[in-house]
Structure 1
Amino acid sequence: LKIEESVSKIEEMELRIEGIKSGIEKPRSEIEETDWKLRN
């Protein structure tokens, strides 16, 4: 049971990290899009 608990905790952390990464990546692409629109 303890091993399963630690595995689920690690998976939760990984999902959180992925969510943070995608949250950081999304605005960056939006900024690039608006930057491109301003240039052209």
Structure 2
Amino acid sequence: MTKKTNPWLEHVKETKKKFPDKMLKEVLKEASKTWKKK
């Protein structure tokens, strides 16, 4: 069985691609705006 990745971390990674120049703290802020709880 493959280990399921954390959907939040996946979302943060996607957001970081959109904002490559931002600090992680800012990326997390942006990610939390667009995060939909599953």
Q: Shorter chain as normaliser: what TM range?
A: 0.3 to 0.5
**TM-score of the superposition, structure 2-length normalised?**
0.36
**TM-score of the superposition, structure 1-length normalised?**
0.35
Task: Give the number of the structure with larger relative contact order, counting CA–CA contacts within 8 Å between residues 6 or more apart.
Answer: 2
Higher helix fraction: Structure 1 or Structure 2? 1
From the CA coordinates, give the structure whose radius of gyration is larger. Answer: 1
